[in-house]
Structure 1
Amino acid sequence: MQRDERTPDTSGLTDLQYREIVNQIRLQPAWRAESDRACSFYDGNQLGADEVAELEARGMAPIIINQIKPLVNSVLGLEAKTRSDWRVVADRDEQQEMAEALSAKLMEAERETLADQACSEAFAGQIKAGLGWVHVTRNADPFGYDYRVEAVDRSEIWWDWQARKPDLADARYLVRERWYPTESLVAYFPGEADMIRAVGSGWAPEWMDLAKTDERMMRAYDSEHRSGWLEQEWRNTDSGLVCLREIWYRVPVRAKVIKLPDGRVAEFDKKNPLHALAAAEGLATVREAVFTKLRVSLWVGPHKLQDEDYGSNHLPYVPFWGYREDRSRVPYGVVRDLIPLQKEINARRQKLQWLLASKRVMVDSDALDRNYNDFTDLADEIARPDAVVVLDPGRRNANGINVETDLNLTAQQFQVMTEAGEAMQKVAGIYNAMLGATDGAKSGTAIQGLVEQGNTMQAEITDNYRFARRLVGQRLLELVTQDLAGVEVTIDAGEEGKPRPVTLNRPMVDALTGLEYRENDVSKALVKVALNDVPSTPAYRAQAMTMVAEVIKGLPPQLQAPLVPYFLESTELPKRREMADLVRKVLGLGEDGQQPDPEKVQMAQMLEQLQAALADARAKLQSKDAELQIKAGELAVKEQAQQVAAEKAAAEVAKLRADTLQTRAATAGQAMAITQHP
């Protein structure tokens, strides 16, 4: 369950439509008990209570030889061994760079959400029970990763039985039932806290008192009692749990759609200037069409908590189908066909055990001494290794008691049991080579042929798994692109060890029109998810490395050298890139692994020499410039010193002249005074 922050819609699914969906679910074929039985046989719970009681009455232990589990595990191991990573492919060449960036982001989401583990769990349900589910959604936990990919138990999900498409794109509804504590729902729906607590308690007296004064609570109480729902279907007052139903349903809509020039089709929005401009200029086609919108409605029993438009037309739940019956469309897995043979093996084993311990007794009526034992005591004692039987000494026939064991039948029982085990492998399409045996095959090619033959037998269920796994990646990519739309972000993309930054949604301005647009616009990406052709498991990589090493060893020496750097880069060594670059440098190889052209090398050397000479000339010129600058500085200093000395001399001369004039003036004054006063 995930609470969305969008404004709830009070319309949507009505009570009558809700009741109709639940009634349709009740009328569906009862296949879940058979699927549970198949999973029980895989777990080793293969005997019923009546069978165990019968064995105990015979004095026999309930022996089970579980041959289903190793056969199923071999198929599950095949999935783990051949698992492929997701990659994003673009429909247009100009979007390849954006597809690589989205691939890097999708790989990050795959690692952080543990999507591989979720798909493996769903594949296990696909093989055992015939159906598994994976849920792809945003993570409601603010402290966790942005997205969540988890396996869902098949008992929680119900779907439209009339749907025929494997991804349920034509299903009218899908329902998930899950039990929650009352207070957990209160935390997600605080506006409905009183109603949730009231229905969770079974309308305890204090809530009934509130309902008498609260009109909304009273309507909820009346609606619950008029609905006729069985309480045990959605409420457990002892544990305080209530069942929340997520109902995903499609609503048919008739509206206008627009096909944009880049090939995308969207609902026409006349308020969108791009839609209006494209339609006015004749760059896009607008037409009326009928399509469906996906909505989600949340219910607790007969009470609706929320109903809103999901915003996407793809279900967040991905089914992993096993096999399906032709007429009834009932899903089933590999185990269902193995159950009769497994029961035969168990029965033959029990019969074999019984034959080994059984005794056939032929006794005369007067053979036993009735004072010590009777025929009941004889039957109990005869199977014991320390049996004690007291005979009547006055019996008419000395050989009146005869004990026989028929061990001939044990060999026949053992043979039939062995044949049943071999038949199980044939029914499951699993050969001994897939289990580690060679079946007499001597060469590796013959053994590989047996393995491939077994894989061919599982072609249908394998194709279903690959289709479902790709859908999980597609759902996760949709969430990633929604969050990246309109946000400028740089992602390291490219091959491992050679990352290159790719910027998405970069704002740009068209030089011709002056209009703003976004380069590598994620919202306009025409991309889809595909599975890599090469499995990504460590075992497969090690096997591939061994094969490549053998191929390189068989090549001529002149071909081995260019391949060595690539071989090192494909390993998982810590410094593989540094080692590969060193090998290229020593061998004189370029990044593409080719020997350089002699003419290009000569031209490069000449260019290097010219560049070195130019650098030397620049250095010498810079040295001359430095000397001239130093000399110019010295001359400037000298000129400044001379100017200071000249200014100092002029000042001294001026001072001397002033002193002389002052002296003359003083002398003239004295002479005048003497003249006036002789």
Structure 2
Amino acid sequence: MNENDIKKDFTQAYERAHAYWAPFLSEANTDLSVMLGDQWDASAKRYLEKQRRSALVFNKVRRVVKLIEGYQRKNRLALKVDPVEGSDQATASQLSALCQWQMQSCNAYHVMSDAFSAGALKTGVNLVNLFVDYSRDPLNGDIKIKRAPHNRFLLDPAFSERDLSDCNYICRRELLTKDAVRSILPAGKRHLIDNISPRGVADGKYEYGALARNPAGDNLLRYDEFWTRTHKPLTILMDPAAGLSLPWKGDAQTLERLLSAHPGLKIFETMRRSVELAVFVEDQLIHQGPEPGGLEDFPFVPVLGFFEPEYDQASWKLQGIVRCMRDPQTEVNKRRSKMLDIIDSQISTGWKARENSVVNPEALYQSGQGQVVWMKGDMDQAQRLLPPDIPAGLMQLSEILDKDIMEIPGANSELFGMAESDHMQIAGILAKMRQAAGLTILQDIFDNYRLAKKLVGQKLIKLIQANYTPQKVSRILGQPPTREFFTGDFGKYDAIPVEGVLSDSQRQMYFAQLVSLKQMGAPIPWKAVLDAAPIEDKGRLQAMLAEEEKARASQAQGQSALMRLQKDLARAKMRSDLAGAAQKQTQAMKNLAAETGERVRTAREIAQMDRGALRQAMPVIRKMQKEPNHARDHRQAAQPVLP
């Protein structure tokens, strides 16, 4: 595509987007003015000026905006990378550490909060721009993040997705010095702006931009970017057996040889989405080529407020929370200005008297507010002037309007840290529940912000993988990257950007996670928690802990020796008891054997007797059996009885 065609496409795209978004830009500019305190339009100011009244402003919108903005800033969450189930934990940890370092090094969390405040709350939209700056690192570059205000860009009117996936083009303008433009352009294109000078005359574009009229006007160049989404043919090489696919970037002949050598491989023709960039400096085409960061997508993430893509009128489909507070704020200013005018214009106290009716006219000026009305005619004596009262309904109406400014956008008294009634005792848990209920009304705005942070994380991972070398990754992390670190689809299938505890470094986040697990009851030693703690003079505390552990180890060693000695004594006693029991058992067996032998001999002798002899011996045997019993009884009777 030649230069004339590119410039023609840019002009048509700008005119089409400007014609659609002009009503929104006008309303957004008014929203921003109201938030800043410029709340009277030109006609109202002229009316007040004719009546010699001041255009007083009682800005209550700022309080509500700063409340929600302060809540977001106070409850910031970090951007980290978690592995998908079954994925590589080491690679995900390295990506998480690098993202954390990157977000801290370029103040990305502050940029995101500024975009949330200026976009979601005040005007309705801001863009977060990710780019690579080669000014300090010509080899790798440094990834930077900055905010694009609502009045410096125009989106495709047909976009409806919050990730800009269906946006076909973006127009953006900056006013830069010649050296700043040189630092952005590729090295081979920098000489093209040597003969370009600022025109100093507004061209009518981006009329709501803060620098549209170039008030300095002497050395700033109009730098326009025209981002367009393109679709290019792409050949996919597939292995159905292994379930793998890979984009083919080689030539056709090499592909034919590869297919003939491996009949199982298949090819698939498709279209690949990409992004082209055209740069104009003072309406002259300076550069045209693919997206320079390697994203193959827009390097922008929108931070949206209330967005209704199905509504066609641009002035209403996109807006911040200021929009719904404009009318109540205007009425508050009118009513309070009217009340003050009534008070100032009426004669609160004074006198009405006839000329020459008092001896000392100066005395009348010394009472009340010094207002005296001199009259001619019949008046017997001076009369006091009494002021009219302000209508009570006007005060009540003012209070209602004050309450509307808080309640319409979704704020309530609990969000401001106060109870609804001074006489109401509210428990802390109930106050938190009411505060959470108030924030539920604004949940879609916070969801849009979280989505924007997730999209920033995805684009940040791609930029790191596309631009940083392993040496720079090792320098940042203190360890070499894993083998899967530069895998293009690792951030798509194996890890996802999520929110975590915000800290100044990955080490502090690790400490917060350890403490959380410790509180949940995980068996984590205190030494591991202390080693990860980001506290001052940690060495002395570690030495104290080491001494205490050494003392506990010595005490445990003594207790262990005592327990071993007790066990040895118990085993010795058990062996002695077992030996005595064995000896007793042996003696019992000997006694049993002797008794058994005696019985055998007796049985053998009895067997040798005949029946007659046995019959003759039976009386003698019975007598012998009875005789020991009588003798024992006699001996027991003969023993003395001890007292």
Q: TM-score scaled to structure 1, two decimals? A: 0.64
Task: Give runs of aligned pairs for residues 156-235 of structure 1, distance below 5 A.
Answer: 156-181=152-177, 185=181, 188=185, 189-193=189-193, 196-197=196-197, 200=199
Paired residue type of 2:165 = A
Shift of 1:520: 5.0
d(CA) in 2 for partners of 1:268, 1:293? 16
Shift of 1:580: 6.7
d(CA) in 1 for partners of 2:154, 2:84? 35
d(CA) in 2 for partners of 1:467, 1:433? 27
Is 1:525 the equivalent of 2:490?
yes
Maintained 8 Å contact 1:12/1:307: no
Q: What SS does the aligned partner of 1:14 have? A: helix
Maintained 8 Å contact 2:458/2:491: no
Aligned twin of 1:475: 459
Maintained 8 Å contact 1:133/1:151: yes
Is 1:461 the equivalent of 2:461?
no
d(CA) in 2 for partners of 1:487, 1:285? 37
Is 1:406 the equivalent of 2:406?
no
Paired residue type of 1:71 = V
Maintained 8 Å contact 1:252/1:290: yes
Among 13, 20, 23, the alignment partner of 1:21 is 13
Is 1:123 the equivalent of 2:116?
yes
Larger radius of gyration: 2
Paired residue type of 2:372 = V
Task: Give runs of aligned pairs for residues 46-445 of structure 1, distance below 5 A.
Answer: 46-91=39-84, 93-125=86-118, 126-142=120-136, 146-181=142-177, 185=181, 188=185, 189-193=189-193, 196-197=196-197, 200=199, 239-258=218-237, 267-271=247-251, 281=262, 286-300=267-281, 302-310=283-291, 311-325=294-308, 326-327=310-311, 328=313, 330-359=317-346, 385-392=369-376, 394-395=377-378, 405-409=387-391, 411-439=392-420, 440=424, 442-445=426-429
Aligned twin of 2:588: none
Shift of 1:401: 9.1
Maintained 8 Å contact 2:454/2:497: yes
d(CA) in 2 for partners of 1:294, 1:408? 65
Shift of 1:483: 2.7
Shift of 1:291: 3.2
Quickly say closer, same or farther: Cα 1:388–1:438, change in 2 above 3 A: closer
d(CA) in 2 for partners of 1:537, 1:430? 31
Q: 5+ residue gaps in structure 1?
A: 1-8, 203-228, 370-380, 494-500, 506-517, 604-678
Q: What SS does the aligned partner of 2:196 have? A: helix
Aligned twin of 1:448: 432
d(CA) in 2 for partners of 1:155, 1:38? 13
Deviation readout 1:114-169 (Å, 9 max, x if unpaired): 11111111011121111112111111322797121111222111110101111212
Count of aligned pairs: 513
Quickly say closer, same or farther: Cα 1:483–1:230, change in 2 above 3 A: closer
Maintained 8 Å contact 1:55/1:62: yes
Maintained 8 Å contact 2:82/2:498: no
d(CA) in 2 for partners of 1:423, 1:276? 74
d(CA) in 2 for partners of 1:151, 1:533? 23
d(CA) in 2 for partners of 1:460, 1:285? 45
Quickly say closer, same or farther: Cα 1:266–1:16, change in 2 above 3 A: farther
Q: What SS does the aligned partner of 1:161 have? A: coil
Shift of 1:102: 1.5
d(CA) in 1 for partners of 2:398, 2:531? 53
d(CA) in 2 for partners of 1:164, 1:502? 43
Maintained 8 Å contact 1:341/1:420: yes
Q: What SS does the aligned partner of 2:30 have? A: helix
Paired residue type of 2:226 = I
Shift of 1:248: 0.5
Quickly say closer, same or farther: Cα 1:62–1:570, change in 2 above 3 A: farther
Moved more, 152-161 or 565-574: 565-574
Shift of 1:469: 1.5
Shift of 1:421: 1.4
Paired residue type of 2:497 = A
Shift of 1:107: 1.3
Paired residue type of 2:192 = E
Moved more, 262-271 or 144-153: 262-271
Shift of 1:564: 5.8
Deviation readout 1:607-658 (Å, 9 max, x if unpaired): xxxxxxxxxxxxxxxxxxxxxxxxxxxxxxxxxxxxxxxxxxxxxxxxxxxx
Quickly say closer, same or farther: Cα 1:403–1:113, change in 2 above 3 A: same
**Aligned CA-pair RMSD:** 4.6
Aligned twin of 2:536: 574
Paired residue type of 1:120 = S
Q: What SS does the aligned partner of 1:169 have? A: coil
Among 472, 477, 481, the alignment partner of 1:504 is 481
Among 28, 37, 54, the alignment partner of 2:30 is 37
Quickly say closer, same or farther: Cα 1:133–1:15, change in 2 above 3 A: closer
Quickly say closer, same or farther: Cα 1:560–1:42, change in 2 above 3 A: same
Quickly say closer, same or farther: Cα 1:307–1:44, change in 2 above 3 A: same
Shift of 1:61: 3.6
Paired residue type of 2:123 = A
Shift of 1:191: 3.8
Maintained 8 Å contact 1:180/1:241: yes
Paired residue type of 2:387 = T
Quickly say closer, same or farther: Cα 1:59–1:488, change in 2 above 3 A: closer
d(CA) in 1 for partners of 2:269, 2:383? 96
Maintained 8 Å contact 1:135/1:317: yes
Q: TM-score scaled to structure 2, two decimals? A: 0.68
Shift of 1:458: 1.2
d(CA) in 1 for partners of 2:285, 2:17? 19
Quickly say closer, same or farther: Cα 1:259–1:403, change in 2 above 3 A: farther
Paired residue type of 1:28 = Y
d(CA) in 2 for partners of 1:278, 1:484? 34
Paired residue type of 1:268 = W
Shift of 1:297: 0.4
Deviation readout 1:499-550 (Å, 9 max, x if unpaired): xx65325xxxxxxxxxxxx565544634554232445599xx99x99xx89x
Shift of 1:448: 1.0
Maintained 8 Å contact 2:34/2:326: yes
Quickly say closer, same or farther: Cα 1:579–1:193, change in 2 above 3 A: closer
Shift of 1:64: 1.9
